[in-house]
């Protein structure tokens, strides 16, 4: 297994107030199925909060590109915060890094 890579993403909209964020950890430079090491998701929508993670759910993934210039992966499954369950049917994450990097 490669060096762990953790990616954080999020957004905030002021009116109406909406906050969403997630983090995904996976082995750097590896591609294929079921490579997610850690997955966290948070949202705050209309005074309702949700904080779920990989330990309280089942997440499947397909990492298509994972290199020092960009990452692209698809994920699906369900996570729970102990009170609510969130079902992800077509999660996709794509990002091109501003500067290439290497470990």
Whether 1 has a pLDDT exceeding 70, the answer reads no
Q: Look over the chain and give the mean of its residue pLDDT values, rounded to a whole number.
A: 89
- Stretch 44-52: mean pLDDT, rounded? 87
Residue 18 has a pLDDT of: 86
Q: Concatenated DSSP letters for 14-82?
A: TTTTEEEEEEEEEETT--EES--SEEEEEEEETTEEEEEEEEEEEEEEEEEEESSSEEEEEEEEEEE-S
Q: Residue for token digits 């990616």?
A: 7
Would residue 101 count as lying in a domain?
no
Q: Tell me, yes or no, whether 103 lies in a domain.
A: no
Confidence band of 84 (pLDDT split at 50, 70, 90): confident
Give the count of domains, the chain.
Answer: 1
* Domain interval for residue 56: 4-96
Please tell me the predicted confidence (pLDDT) of residue 82: 87
Is residue 102 one of the residues assigned to a domain? no
């Amino acid at each position: 297994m490669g060096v762990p890579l953790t990616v954080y993403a999020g957004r905030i909209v002021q009116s109406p107030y909406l906050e969403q964020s997630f983090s995904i950890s996976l082995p750097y430079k590896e591609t294929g199925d079921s490579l997610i090491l850690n997955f966290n998701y948070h949202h705050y929508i209309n005074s309702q909060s949700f904080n779920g993670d990989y330990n309280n759910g089942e997440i499947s993934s397909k990492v298509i590109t994972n290199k020092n210039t960009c990452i692209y992966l698809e994920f699906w499954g369900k996570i729970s915060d102990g009170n609510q369950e969130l079902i992800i049917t077509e999660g996709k994450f794509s990002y091109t890094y501003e500067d290439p990097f290497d470990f």
